[in-house]
Amino acid sequence: MHDQMVQAALGDLDLALDSGVLDGPTVSALRLADVLTSERPAVTDEFQGELRQHYSDEQILELGTALSIASGWQKFIEAFGIRPDSWSPDDPDPSRPGS
């Protein structure tokens, strides 16, 4: 089941919700991650209502904070070309999937 959840999270979130593999709170959290990492992040009133169906205001703040820190860290390491410790020059570049 865990592999199915990971695959669903990597695909279309609406399909994942319809399939029942991911529950509503998980899909909303993944949608928030998509919004916060988009080029011009904006949370609509409708989406805010969706989040509040699953999370308290405190939980939304905690989730948003964690997602923002993770996203910022990712941008930082990409900007400086930092590679994981196990990466070597002979390995494919982890910042360029499929390379």
Sorted by where each begins, the domain ranges of the chain are: 7-74
pLDDT at 42: 95
Output the pLDDT for position 50.
95
User: Can you list the alpha helix ranges (DSSP code H) found in 1-99?
Assistant: 2-10, 13-19, 24-36, 45-54, 57-79
Residue-level pLDDT at 9: 60
Q: Whole-prediction pTM value?
A: 0.70
Report pLDDT digits (tens) over 38-69.
889 999 999 999 999 999 999 999 999 999 99
Please answer whether residues 32 and 63 qualify as being in contact, where contact means their C-beta atoms are separated by less than 8 angstroms.
yes
Please provide residue 29's backbone torsions phi and psi, each rounded to the nearest 5 degrees.
-65, -40
CA–CA distance, 49 with 56 (Å, rounded to integer): 11
pLDDT of residue 63: 96
